[in-house]
Amino acid sequence: MRRPLTTFAPTVIGILTVGLATFLAYSFRLNLASTVLLQLLVVVVAALRIGFWQATFVSIFANVCLAYFIVPPVFSFVISDAQNWVALIVFEFTALVVSRLSTKAQLEAASAASRQREIERLYQFSRELLSMDRRKAPGQQIVTLIQTLFEASGVVFYDCSTEKIEFAGECDAELQELARGSHRNGKTAPLVHTLLSNGQPLATLALRGSLVPQITFDAISSLTLSTLERWRSFENESRAEGERQTEQLRAAVLDALAHDFKSPLTTIRTASTAILTMRQVGDLEEKLVSLIDTESQKLDRLTTQLLRTSRLDSTEVRLHLELTGAGDIVRDTVSMLTDQLRGHPVRTYGLDNEVEVMVDRDLMVTALSQILDNAAKYANPDSVISINLEVLADRARIAVHNFGPSIPADQLERIFERFYRSPRLENYSVGTGLGLSVTKKIVEAHGGTVEVQSGLGGTTFYLSLRKEEQQPESKPRADGKALASFA
């Protein structure tokens, strides 16, 4: 009811003003031209104050007053002179044009003021977004800002990844479902936007009870999207920094532990070797001492592995490259691991292929030995392990296959991560989860690749190296000599 009353009262005032002007013109015997100008002034003021249609009504009333009180014969609507007809028509036309132009100017001024207000709000919104607290989730902070700055009765933020709803103000089930439905359907309704990042839905933003125009809401959505992307970038950087610091700490701990283990292990091996050399013990005692010596050797090798692994990311060394036959690398590896193959027969194929690679021979034997040892650990009892040397167009590829349990598809990449062991295979053999990560670093240091395929028929590792004529020149690597002697 307020709006009709606020427009009706000025209209009544305009009519009363027209009546007063007519009374004054009649009392002072003003001519038609003077009275028309006086009435036109009243109509223009009415147009400025109350709008076009109200001013039109006032102008019609003014024309009636002119015809009845000013145009002779007075007190009659009869107009005998054609010039008076022209004057009244011109007055009405002029009043309508002036009212229309005045109203248009007011609307444009109001629109400009509204745009200015929206720009100021968006600027304030962007500044507040930049100063948000990074220790808190962005969703709740964003909806609170939008509700405060844009006077919305309800704002909903739907996180597509966590399916969590954040809201400010009124948030009924309908508004929540509207936000969820927009995400699922991939549609954008008025004042509901699905925010896409690289073509993937990131979040949905919905407003209710706000006079925000669509173009402003589009700008709000764009600012919100850029804030979320920046927020995720900060999170990724923080996570990467945390992982880097954790890795540094873990490397330091491993380095310290390995050094602490080295001294007692050396003492144990020295004592066991001395006892065996003296040959002054019985058969049973000799077997026990031999067992101690063998296991201490394994523990010493594991300690060395831990020590060097802790230095992988901090030691800069050079690869000692030499022209080596790929078949020779396979033969050296099999010969070195005869005792560790746990009774598995090894069959080799393609070793007669004349293919040479430019590699650090010791490192490549180490890399291949880790794959072969891994194959023996997880192969079915007494099953055959096959090694096939293939010569491809641009590289030599060594394939190591065993018959055993398959590796789940979602873990094929993770098995090359340091310390990672597949939960499905943990009961098959003990280990540290270091071997394959070392292999990957060695091969990549040579510009090669390591891949794995696994299924019901077993698991196959592929170690690929560029052929000799395509090898790059020797240059410093971050993962070189420190990787040696892990077997």
CA distances from 9 to 38, 50, 60 (A): 21, 9, 17
**What is the extent of the structural domain holding 43?**
2-113
Q: Is residue 363 part of a domain?
A: yes
E strand residue ranges, 238-365 = 317-318, 322-325, 346-349, 356-359
Confidence of residue 316 (pLDDT cuts 50, 70, 90): very low
Q: How many domains does the chain have?
A: 3
Whether omega for the bond prior to residue 4 falls within 30 degrees of 0, making it cis, is no
Q: Is residue 123 part of a domain?
A: no
Q: Averaged over 411-429, what is the pLDDT?
A: 69
Q: Averaged over 380-389, what is the pLDDT?
A: 90
CA distance linking residue 65 with residue 131, whole number of Å: 64
Confidence (pLDDT) at 42? 80
CB 209 within 8 A of CB 237: no
The answer to whether residues 353 and 420 belong to one domain is: yes
CB 11 within 8 A of CB 50: yes
Q: Is residue 385 part of a domain?
A: yes
Residue % of the chain over a pLDDT of 90: 8
Confidence (pLDDT) at 184? 59
Q: Averaged over 403-429, what is the pLDDT?
A: 74
Task: Name the token pair of 357.
Answer: 């690679």
The answer to whether residues 355 and 459 belong to one domain is: yes
Q: State the average pLDDT for the chain.
A: 77
CA distance linking residue 434 with residue 421, whole number of Å: 9
Flag whether pLDDT at 272 surpasses 50.
yes
Q: Which of 94, 113, 132 represents a domain boundary (last residue)?
A: 113
Q: Is the dihedral of CA 149, 152, 153, 159 positive or negative?
A: negative
Task: Name the token pair of 344.
Answer: 């598995």
Flag whether pLDDT at 317 surpasses 70.
no
Q: Which of 309, 344, 361 represents a domain boundary (last residue)?
A: 309
Q: Averaged over 417-428, what is the pLDDT?
A: 64
The answer to whether residues 304 and 324 belong to one domain is: no
Q: Which of 93, 113, 133 represents a domain boundary (last residue)?
A: 113
The answer to whether residues 289 and 342 belong to one domain is: no
Q: CATH no. for residue 292? A: 1.10.287
pLDDT per position as a tens digit, 227-264: 888 888 877 777 777 766 766 666 666 666 666 677 77
Instruction: Give the list of residues 6+ apart from residue 231 with CB closer than 8 angstroms, or none.
Output: 134, 138
Tell how strand 200-208 and strand 154-159 pair up: antiparallel
CB 463 within 8 A of CB 442: no
pTM of model > 0.75? no
| Angle, vertex CA 199, rays to CA 193 and CA 205, nearest 5 | 15
Q: Is residue 109 part of a domain?
A: yes
Q: Averaged over 436-452, what is the pLDDT?
A: 86
Q: Is residue 184 part of a domain?
A: no
Confidence (pLDDT) at 477? 42
Q: Averaged over 428-445, what is the pLDDT?
A: 73
Tell how strand 154-159 and strand 164-169 pair up: antiparallel
Q: Is residue 154 part of a domain?
A: no
Q: Is residue 97 part of a domain?
A: yes
The answer to whether residues 354 and 473 belong to one domain is: yes
Q: Averaged over 444-468, what is the pLDDT?
A: 89
pLDDT per position as a tens digit, 27-72: 888 887 788 888 878 877 777 777 777 777 788 888 888 888 888 8
Q: Is residue 301 part of a domain?
A: yes
Helix (H) or strand (E) holding 299: helix 283-309
The answer to whether residues 265 and 355 belong to one domain is: no
Confidence (pLDDT) at 4? 45
CA distance linking residue 400 with residue 426, whole number of Å: 21
Instruction: Give the list of residues 6+ apart from residue 255 with CB closer than 8 angstroms, or none.
Output: 307, 310, 311
The answer to whether residues 264 and 337 belong to one domain is: no
The answer to whether residues 364 and 270 belong to one domain is: no
DSSP secondary structure string for all residues of 87-116: HHHHHHHHHHHHHHHHHHHHHHHHHHHHHH
Confidence (pLDDT) at 190? 60
Question: Which of 149, 145, 151, 115 lies closest to 132, judged by CA?
Answer: 145
pLDDT per position as a tens digit, 460-475: 999 999 887 544 444 4
Confidence (pLDDT) at 408? 84
